[in-house]
Amino acid sequence: MTPDSQKIERSHETILDQSSGEIIRRAKLEPVLINYHVGKNKYEKIPDDDDINILNTPILRGRYCSGCFKEAYRLLNFMKTNMIKDLKYITNQSFLIGESPQEPDSHLNIILYGDCAIKSTLNRAFRKILLQNDKNIIDTLKTKLKKEKPKETKIKPRGKKNKSILELSGCPPNLYDCLKSYIKYYGKEIVPSAYIYDKIFSESYLPKKSNNLTKREVPIQ
């Protein structure tokens, strides 16, 4: 089965941005169909979890545009095909795409794909990690050492910014930029396959910087 992702067309819509209060124009969010063919027969279907199932990576969806779906499909398919060894090292990560995706089960290694996922989750719970008040922790330890029953006190939570979030900006994000950001986030020791492919892409496909050196003029004798 081969998806015909090249045939996806993008449409736009004008909406009111709730965070800024301004009118913005964005790619239209609408249900996306996968066009594919088996032999000479062509079909279409609504994407589901069986289309791309990646090791240790639950995919949480919101409403996404056709452009982000196409590029996310390319990125996830690349990870599934070429980064099998890397995904074994990463035991827990979540991939969030679209507007208002579901809340991940873990606060570790959250990948936000696209501007819609980034902007619509600015106030979500996973953005901060709640910690107990330091004083309450010390009092609890002292009480345990004295073998006394702890007093019933209200725990005052405090928020700490979650740094285990990788934001892949763009609508849609660029595949090569995503790969570089992925390597920078995890490090080449954790994702060696991604690091090797990034080197191959950089040397083979990306345009090289021209060396604008002027030749020295040699006087005629």
Coil vs helix vs strand at 182 = helix
In a domain, 151, yes or no: yes
Are residues 156 and 168 in contact, defined by beta-carbon separation less than 8 angstroms?
Answer: no
In a domain, 97, yes or no: yes
Which of the four pLDDT bands, split at 50, 70 and 90, describes residue 65? Answer: confident
Distance in Å from the first CA to the final CA of the chain: 70
Q: Is the pTM of this model over 0.85?
A: no
Other C-beta atoms closer than 10 Å to the C-beta of 207 total 5
Q: How many domains are contained in the chain? A: 1
Label residues 52-86 b or e (16+ Cβ within 10 Å = b). bebeebbbbbbbbbbbbbbbbbebbeebeeebeeb
In a domain, 212, yes or no: no
In a domain, 214, yes or no: no
Domain carrying residue 140: 2-203
- Please write the tens of the pLDDT for every residue from 148-172: 555 555 545 466 889 999 999 998 9
Please give the average per-residue pLDDT across 125-130, as a whole number: 86
Are residues 33 and 46 in contact, defined by beta-carbon separation less than 8 angstroms?
Answer: yes
Percent of all residues in the chain with a pLDDT value above 70, rounded to a whole number: 58
Token pair recorded at residue 89: 């090292």
Of 11-25, 134-148, 159-173, 207-221, which has the strongest mean pLDDT? 159-173
In a domain, 51, yes or no: yes
In a domain, 218, yes or no: no
